[in-house]
Amino acid sequence: MEYSIRTERLSKRFGSFTAVDHIDLAVAKGEIFGFLGANGAGKTTAIRMLCGLLVPTSGTGYVAGFDILKESEKIRTRIGYMSQKFSLYPDLSVDQNLRLYGRLYGLGKKDLEGRIREMAAFLGLDPLLKRVTGSLPWGWQQRLSLACANLHRPEILFLDEPTGSVDPVSRRNFWDLIHRLSSQGTTIFITSHYMDEVEYCHRLSIMIEGRIAAMGTPRDLKRESGCASIHELFLKLVESKSAQAGA
């Protein structure tokens, strides 16, 4: 199997605090892989290491075939990254934001024009291209962020809690778009603390205090644990961890 992301015992410590504790991952090309966990579980730290934005303390990792320790610059040309906080320019128009990010990704004028048309059509942004970004509803701002992250045709999209503060309907629409990108061959690595939406992933892992407590397809995880939902499984794992700590 061809893997887009592989890690072995990947760890990150900040002084005496271990944020990510020896995680092993293998994400296939075109897979939607969910990284589930409560705030502070280590999700964002892990994703920043995989994107080459943070140097691991120990362990190894490969993204798009490149070593995260030695080839971070090459990794950045193969990935798109959408942060949990809105990072576009609210005083620019939708079109201006797309053009700015396209130039930052090194797209030529002809290629950029074509990609803006493609992304605007794909994400339904055509009627909004001249709108000031800050005036858009939050769900549409997130669509624009996704368009900017995908302009340069990345092999892998890292989405860090992209649906935070998004209403349920917009969240479901966003996931429809994620599945369409996956069907076109893009690998999606998405962090979330929403228990319901990660059921849309092909596979997921559950992080508890920096460690992977469970991994598999949503169906297999529920069957093997005897839980009716991922939310129930998550609570079960948290309670088990708390009981171990108190023993």
Q: Where are the domains of the chain?
A: 3-86+156-246
Please report, rounded to a whole number, the percentage of residues in the chain having pLDDT higher than 70: 98
What the block records as the tokens of 113 is 């024009």
Least confident of 75-89, 176-190, 214-228: 75-89
Residue 85's pLDDT is 73
Strand arrangement of the beta sheet that strand 211-216 belongs to: 79-82, 156-160, 187-192, 32-36, 203-208, 211-216
Q: How far is CA 145 from the centre of its chain?
A: 12
Residue 108's pLDDT is 93
Distance between CA atoms of 12 and 91, rounded to whole angstroms?
A: 37
| pLDDT band at 247; cut points 50, 70, 90 | low
pTM exceeding 0.85: yes
The secondary element (H helix, E strand) that includes residue 6 is: strand 3-14
Statement: residue 34 has pLDDT above 80: yes
For residue 239, what are the CA distances in angstroms to 122, 208, 232, 244? 42, 11, 11, 9
- CATH architecture assignment, domain 3-86+156-246: 3-Layer(aba) Sandwich (3.40)
pLDDT single digits (tens) 151-196 = 999 999 999 888 876 777 778 888 888 999 999 999 999 988 788 8
What the block records as the tokens of 159 is 């989405």
pLDDT single digits (tens) 39-64 = 788 998 999 999 999 999 999 999 99
Grouping H, G, I as helix, E, B as strand and the rest as coil, residue 38 is: coil
Cβ count near 165 (within 10 Å): 12
What the block records as the tokens of 108 is 């030529």
> For the chain, what is the mean pLDDT?
91
C-beta separation of 82 from 157 below 8 A: yes
